[in-house]
Amino acid sequence: MVIINKSTRFPAIGLFISLLAILSACSDDLSQLERIKSRGTLRVALIATPPLYFPDESVIKGYDYEIIASYAESIGSTLEIIRANTISEIITMLKQGKAHIGIAGNSPDSSDKNILGSTAYDEDEWHVIGNRKNTLPKSVDDITPSTVIVAKGSKPALVLSDLKPEHPSLFWLELPNGNNRQVLEQVNKNNFKLSVISADVYKYYRYLYPEIKIAFTLNKQFPSRWLSYKSDDASLSKSIEKFINSYKQSGKLEQRYNTYYRHLNAFNYADSFHYLKNIKERLPQYRSLFKNAALDNEFDERFLAAVSYQESHWDANARSYTGVRGLMMLTKDTAKRVGVKDRLDPKESITGGAKYLNILKASLPERIKEPDRSWMTLAAYNVGLGHLEDARILTELLGDNPDLWIDVEKHLPKLSQKEWHQMTKHGYARGHEPVAFVRRIRRYYDILRLFQQEEILEKLDRPLELDKVQITSPAL
């Protein structure tokens, strides 16, 4: 028998096999962090609901998403999001090696000894919520057994389990194959009495489900941590610790938090109720106009719709005491500038308003990035580009960043104070008005995004199995 030495008979193949062996050996020697960097992709399992993550293409992507995106960039990797509904799903993905990091927002620490939690980068309250039509309990001990419903394997289920040792009589219902959004909808419809929700999620979803109301706040707060699989290789966890500590110390975490939550502090039940009603009844007739104008001027159509609702409540015949008119409430001078002949014509008004917003946006310094660029565009739409520039100059004089909206909005109100506006080029302005104007539009924008997102996600949800809801009370 003749044995052929492949490396001699086929030298190219032999060289290739040797190279693979070398690369494999080198790969085995790499740390977990080095392997992630080498492959160029960081896989993150994340509960894909606001405010953690907005699964659409828009100005803002999500509070936790933007933090982890900054981390991915810092290690030279592309971020790959793996969407999850519950924290149980995230833990399973980490154990199976499908994800490097898991993010679930603020919740009790996992009881699984194989799951490692990072240093906390946030901490928040949890609320017991119910339908505002009902008489609601004032403490955990006032809760009637089995009137609280949560999704099985969810963060709220973990929170209730954490409360159980102190409240042995606490029993609740768990919805199989469900998610927190579905639970909130059921409470909003008054199909179930109570549920548990973190404060950050409540700040967003109370606008989409205005019938839910806080019954009381739990006396415990839980941290937000990044989760990873525990191993002898600590390279990834050490890198995470270093990044989070640096991110907090730099002030970027506070800036990010204010970007996502500050404008949501004011809740008006009547305004939210009527806005949702108008989204269903008035918006559809104008949606194609907003879409076309957005495409022509590189805006998110929901951004334009939110501006229009703030200005006219989508009333094509709207008119203010100052004489501005139409869906985008254009002045005569602005209408002339953008070629609008009939301010009451919906198409002309929306097209003209979008064009004017684009002009303002293009007038801002290129170094101003999103989403700050959009918020400053709105301020200029309300108070004028000159007054906005005055406020930016004051912002810089007082030691803050003129390119960040969070800093500029602090100083805009000074334009109504003589000691400040006399120093500016354009003089007096009611500087508090653009601040309120921008906050209202940002709320309308977020609500509209949530509403349209729900329409998409509802089609992806598993059917509710209300007949399989089970009473739960883990053993102490």
Burial class (CB in 10 A: 0-12, 13-18, 19+), 4: exposed
Residue 311 bears catalytic tag: yes
- Out of 174, 311, 348, 389, the active site residue is 311
Calculate Rg over the CA atoms of the chain. Answer: 27
Residues designated catalytic: 311
